[in-house]
Amino acid sequence: MNITQHWLNQAKKVPSDNFDTRPVEGDISLVVIHCISLPAEQFGGDYIDQLFCNQLCPEDHITFKSIYQLKVSSHLLIKRCGEVTQYVAFNQRAWHAGESGYQGRQQCNDFSIGIELEGADTCGYTSEQYIQLNRVLETLLNYYPRLSKEHITGHSDIAPRRKTDPGAFFDWTQIR
C-alpha cells in the first residue's frame, strides 16, 4: 500500500464534506479504531457511505430518522470483505471521535486518524478485515512519523462514557 497526497492509493475514494483543517498541521499521532453498521448489526450496502456523505435517507430504515442529519466522517472504512474506502485525506480532520481524550489531550479528532471497521460490538470481525487493517496500519506508521504502535486505541478508550466500539469481540492480538 502507498499514500499519495494523504490518500491511500489502494482505497476506493468516496470524498466526504465532513472534515476541516487540523489545528496543528502535521499533528497526526494517534489511530482510533471504531466499528459501524447501518442498520445496526446489518452488513453490506452503501448506507455507511451515504451517512459520511450526508446522503442517508431517513425513510430507508426507522433508525435512520435519528441519525441522517449527523455530520460525521472517518478517514477509512474497512468492510467485512476487506475492501477499504477513504472519505477524508489523512492530513485533514475527520469528524469521528466526538468529545474525547487521550493521554491528557482533548479533542482526539485534532490529532488522530479514524478507521471504521464494518461491524458491531456484538460480533467478531473477519480475517480479511484484520489483514487489511494491518496493511493500513503498517502504511500509516511508515508514512506519518509521529504515529507509533503504542498509540493505536479504540473509540471506547478515548470516549469511555459514550462509546463501546470496537467492542469486546475486537481481537487486539491480531494487530501486529
Instruction: Please write the tens of the pLDDT for every residue from 151-176.
Output: 999 999 999 999 999 999 999 999 97
C-alpha cell at 145: 512519523
- Which of the 8 DSSP states describes residue 38? S
Residue 113, domain member (yes or no)? yes
Residue 7, domain member (yes or no)? no
What phi, psi does 174 have (nearest 5°)? -75, -15
Residue 5, domain member (yes or no)? no
- Coil, strand or helix at 77: strand
Task: Give the separation between CA 131 and CA 72, rounded to whole angstroms.
Answer: 26
% of the chain beyond a pLDDT of 70 = 100
Residue 11, domain member (yes or no)? no
Task: Give the separation between CA 117 and CA 39, rounded to whole angstroms.
Answer: 14
Read off the CATH number of the domain in which 51 is found. Answer: 3.40.80.10
Q: What is the pLDDT of residue 51?
A: 98
Please state, in angstroms and as integers, the Cα–Cα distance from residue 6 to each residue in 3, 35, 47, 92, 142, following that order: 6, 22, 25, 9, 13
Residue 118, domain member (yes or no)? yes
Instruction: Please write the tens of the pLDDT for every residue from 143-152.
Output: 999 999 999 9
- 28-48 average pLDDT score: 97
| Residues recognised as catalytic | 116
Instruction: Please write the tens of the pLDDT for every residue from 104-156.
Output: 999 999 999 999 999 999 999 999 999 999 999 999 999 999 999 999 999 99
**Count of structural domains within the chain:** 1
Instruction: Please write the tens of the pLDDT for every residue from 8-36.
Output: 999 999 999 999 999 999 999 999 999 99
Please state, in angstroms and as integers, the Cα–Cα distance from residue 104 to each residue in 59, 94, 107, 147, 151, following that order: 41, 20, 10, 17, 13
Range of the domain at 69: 19-170
Residue 6, domain member (yes or no)? no
Centre a 10 Å sphere on the Cβ of residue 151 and count the other Cβ atoms it contains: 16
Residue 120, domain member (yes or no)? yes
Residue 88: pLDDT band with limits 50, 70, 90: very high
Q: What is the pLDDT of residue 176?
A: 73
Residue 38 neighbours by CB under 8 Å, 6+ apart = 45, 47, 48, 51, 56, 61, 64
Residue 176, domain member (yes or no)? no
